[in-house]
Structure 1
């Protein structure tokens, strides 16, 4: 195995002026995000914070409500007795609600939200430290740490009280442990990410390509043991969870995935297409993405593990019917490892395309989405603007996917320090 440090130029051992400048700028911007969590400084720049009238914690309160329900013998997916200021429907497996949700629901809702916000920030700090240690030289350490601090989707993670950053932290470690040939540790960590948020089920082909059948069996067993008994006790939950996979057509302004981009292009370029035609095209696209990625993983099983894991993380953004801005937090580990191994300016350009604010502020300068419900569910006018807006994150993701497919045999498995 090759080491990325082996052929690297001698690295500076002390911070240079540009290091200090980058880190200072990143910290100042990050502090502004934290200030905005209290004051709403950046709220006007994101659809979610405008549409929710600046009322924080929607997704966290879903977990809180589910935990409260669990403590009172009610289905975690039922909300008959509301105890939170606001909340979205709880959409995850029962285990987080039965454990963390139940624990946090012992606190008053607002206090629990504060605890969770502090937890999210501490996880981000841990990710910065871990990325610093992963990087082989000081230049890369500075850039990788700044990547976490300057990432605008993190603001919505904090604002909504979401759970994707914890998943991203797990993936960051998972990439390293997999590369270090720590099979049991990486199997357990992958299983834990699945139980936390099932997006990482898409990593199963990575395990299959390496014939890590024990890891797949372990993940399946732990998922079944922590989920099936609850589903049998509350059989109505099956339909609730299945709805997460439903391909819903429409024009959701906050949905920034590739499927939403294709729908926007259909509306603009082929407005007479029937709903059935659009649905069929989207399903064919999704199948092709999965098949192409499977062929890539199967034919190049010894490609760097971080690339195979990154490839399947990207697949989520290509085939999921629901991709919200905070979901892009999960891409930071991809950029971290990609930058460590390539140090390419193009990686930084793609990172910037995802890390910057969307053009929402330019589209809705007066914040009308807070009051005009049609802006949430109807396409923007003119239709070319609707397509352009939905391309702001989807096009960089498509470029990343294509690049990973092209480079799948680029280098051998690598080892990097913990």
Structure 2
């Protein structure tokens, strides 16, 4: 055999071995993801993972968020406000306050009332697991390479905030799923399907309103008007019938972060609040004194958080205007990250809404273009920080319902609050750098092509 032929055959063989090795490793990662997911499900029954999480240790019990929807459904039957915290007919053992639009209580709340609260909670877990299976199938379609498919699917499976989502019976994973589906359908040109999904998400949890700047950039005026009309049609009659309910719902958006909601909060706003109060010497570790000084503490954090929110929102708006529509999915991801950096209440379970961010950023990395280069330096360790639990188990100091935030030193408080918000900030900054560097360049190229076409015409 001639030498050059031998070299070519050897190179092909080496490449095949490398590809097989990479695919085998990706299958190991996938199996690890399946194992982690099974552990999460078993822990719902046996509770062995609960000590890892503040929300599973020092809050109300399993299904507390889901029971809020169940109770709101009962309130409608009783002719009581869905936001009533002390209803005359209490049908659940405990719950958090109901904070959604009336739509969820009028639909899911009524549906689940057909069975007992524990059975309804079990059904909700099955629904979430079904949504996860659909997401896994959809994720596989995005990747032609088996190695990349396996890793992308594993991202969904080895994500500890999903355990809290199931434990609390929350609705954030449903929102995450709708985010993922709508971005998928918009990207393949099925705009009506994407628009319907976005409108549905507004009725369920309303935080998908953060996509409005991107939809305005796409000139989806009809979609925006229709979505607004649907929200009004499903909400206004109830608010007119029970006018006292407008204020409790509006408080989700009008009230800022307060010192009493820092405990357990995993948002960047809460991290700033912790730094301001603790390093400024205004944090009070005794509950009675805390209640007396709450007004002063709230005033200390209000201005700084307002400035921070204005800066982040302004920069996200600037990038949205400046960036080519070629990077429309990346702009959607930008606004999801903006939410985590600015919203007052970001709990650990809500990080499931970042799953589409990681899957689509991984897809972008697989394209091997210049845009994705910065993410290769930060993707995996930011995913690890957000996917793993916080160091809570090592700093939990109390067995009572009172949050351990009051007993922590500044270092312990930062250990709990710092990791996930900082990872979000790094992802946001990296995405901003890539959009700033490549987004406008593509925009300028498109404009140049249009100009040439006009001149040629």
Pair in the same fold by TM > 0.5: yes
Residues 108-257 of structure 1 mapped to structure 2, 5 A cutoff:
108-245=116-253, 246-250=255-259, 252-257=262-267
Residues 235-314 of structure 1 mapped to structure 2, 5 A cutoff:
235-245=243-253, 246-250=255-259, 252-271=262-281, 275=297, 276-314=299-337
Aligned to 1:395: 422
Change (3 A) 1:14 1:71: farther
Find 2:43's aligned residue among 10, 16, 36: 36
Aligned to 2:382: 350
Report the TM-score, using the length of structure 2 for normalisation.
0.83
Report the TM-score, using the length of structure 1 for normalisation.
0.90
Find 2:402's aligned residue among 363, 367, 373: 373
In 2, Cα distance between equivalents of 1:121 and 1:345: 32
- Residue 128 of structure 1, CA deviation: 1.3
In 1, Cα distance between equivalents of 2:170 and 2:308: 29
Aligned residues of 2:378 and 2:427 also touching (Cα < 8 A) = no
Aligned to 1:72: 78
Aligned to 1:360: 392
Residues 42-61 of structure 1 mapped to structure 2, 5 A cutoff:
42-52=49-59, 55-61=61-67
Change (3 A) 1:303 1:263: farther
In 2, Cα distance between equivalents of 1:345 and 1:402: 13
Aligned residues of 1:257 and 1:324 also touching (Cα < 8 A) = yes
Aligned residues of 1:209 and 1:301 also touching (Cα < 8 A) = no
Higher helix share: 2
Aligned to 1:338: 361
- Residue 277 of structure 1, CA deviation: 3.8
Find 1:20's aligned residue among 15, 22, 27: 27
- Residue 303 of structure 1, CA deviation: 4.3
| Structure showing greater relative contact order (alpha-carbon pairs closer than 8 Å, 6 or more residues apart) | 1
Aligned residues of 1:47 and 1:253 also touching (Cα < 8 A) = no
Pairwise CA RMSD: 2.2
**Dislocated runs of 4+, deviation >4 Å:** 9-15
In 1, Cα distance between equivalents of 2:177 and 2:408: 39
- Residue 69 of structure 1, CA deviation: 1.6
Change (3 A) 1:14 1:226: farther
Which of 248-257 and 204-213 deviates more?
248-257
In 2, Cα distance between equivalents of 1:112 and 1:372: 26
- Residue 240 of structure 1, CA deviation: 0.5
Find 1:321's aligned residue among 322, 344, 349: 344
The alignment covers a number of residue pairs equal to 399
> Structure 1: any 5+ residue segments left out of the alignment?
1-8, 414-418
> Structure 2: any 5+ residue segments left out of the alignment?
1-14, 284-295, 367-375, 444-457
Aligned residues of 1:12 and 1:138 also touching (Cα < 8 A) = no
- Residue 16 of structure 1, CA deviation: 3.6
Specify the structure having the higher radius of gyration (Cα).
2
Which of 10-19 and 249-258 deviates more?
10-19
- Residue 292 of structure 1, CA deviation: 0.9
Change (3 A) 1:374 1:27: closer
